[in-house]
Every structure is written in C-alpha cells, then in structure tokens.
Amino acid sequence: MSGVSHQVLGNRMTKFESSIKQIPYPVEDVYRNISDLSNLERVRDRIPQDKLQDFQFDSDSVQVSVSPVGTIKLRICDREENKCVKFETEQSPLAFNLWIQVLPVSDTASKMKVTVQADIPFMLKGMVSGPLQDGVEKIADALSQIPFV
C-alpha cells in the first residue's frame, strides 16, 4: 500500500489511491463488514443527505445519487477473503472499478486503502482528476471511522 497518488494506466485508465488508513479492528471484522454491503444499514445515518440521495443497497450492490454527478451503482465483482473487495460500475456517468484492500497490522488492528481505476477521456481528465482523488480519500476516511464490530 502506498500513499495518495494517481497515475495513468494504458490508454485512458487512471488510478487513484487513498492514503493508508489505520483501523482499530482485526482484519477479519473489517473484511466481514465490507464484503457484505447489507452492513451499510448500520452507517446510513452518517451519510450526508445534502450530497447523497436515493441510497439503496443489498449484500452485493450499492446505489446512490450524487449531486451533481447523477446515479452511481456499484456491484461487488470479486472477494478475496480478509484481503480485498472489488467493485465494478453497473451504472455511472464514468466507467470505473473500485477496490478496498485490508491488511492485518496486529491481532486487533488492520490497515485499509481504497483504489479507483477510471476510464477518463483525455478531454475530461483535468476536470475530474482532482474531484475523483478527493472522493477516493473521503471514501477511505468514512470507511476508517466505521465501528467494525
């Protein structure tokens, strides 16, 4: 896991990485919670209603309307137990994949990093790179503050 960064991959794929977040819970607890999206019910009240509307989820997918972007729907496409959960877009103005990596630090703590790989047309890269990097960091911050019990 490395620090905050973004890099261009291939044609138009750009990778955005959060800083590494320390989580005061065992990796098994963190993974169990992020790999089953129905656990989002516990944190629904922490979601800023002025930024996100139409927040819906089940165990494998999450959908939200983000102002001014529009509706984004993600589905879990891969789970690697106690290591990583990968998501792909089902609906979004911009095609991207998102993954959440978790690693143990000790028996009672772990660390987490959020990565987004987005297909950004060259003409939009300058406009969306900053907000996407900020968004990835905010997701990581929010995830790091969840009580993973």
pLDDT confidence of residue 3: 47
**Residue 74 near residue 54 (C-beta atoms within 8 A):** no
How far is CA 5 from each of CA 19, 97, 124, rounded to the nearest angstrom?
A: 8, 16, 18
pTM listed for this prediction: 0.84
Q: Residue 138's CB: how many other CB atoms inside 10 A?
A: 14
The span from the CA of 82 to the CA of 74, in Å, is: 20
The span from the CA of 61 to the CA of 87, in Å, is: 9
H or E segment and range at residue 50: none
Residue 79 makes CB contacts below 8 A (sequence gap 6+) with 35, 85, 86
Q: What region does 96 belong to: left with phi over 0, alpha with psi -120 to 50, or beta?
A: beta
Is 60 exceeded by the pLDDT of residue 8? no
How confident is the model over 115-147, as pLDDT tens digits?
999 988 888 888 888 888 998 998 899 889 888
pLDDT confidence of residue 13: 84
**Residue 90 near residue 73 (C-beta atoms within 8 A):** yes
The label of the residue with tokens 């790179």 reads 129
Specify the pairing of strand 21-23 against strand 13-17.
unpaired
How confident is the model over 78-96, as pLDDT tens digits?
999 999 999 999 998 888 9
How confident is the model over 108-122, as pLDDT tens digits?
999 999 999 998 888
Is the model more confident about 5 or about 96?
Answer: 96
pLDDT confidence of residue 109: 97
Q: Closest by alpha carbon to 117, among 137, 141, 90, 136?
A: 136
Is 60 exceeded by the pLDDT of residue 6? no
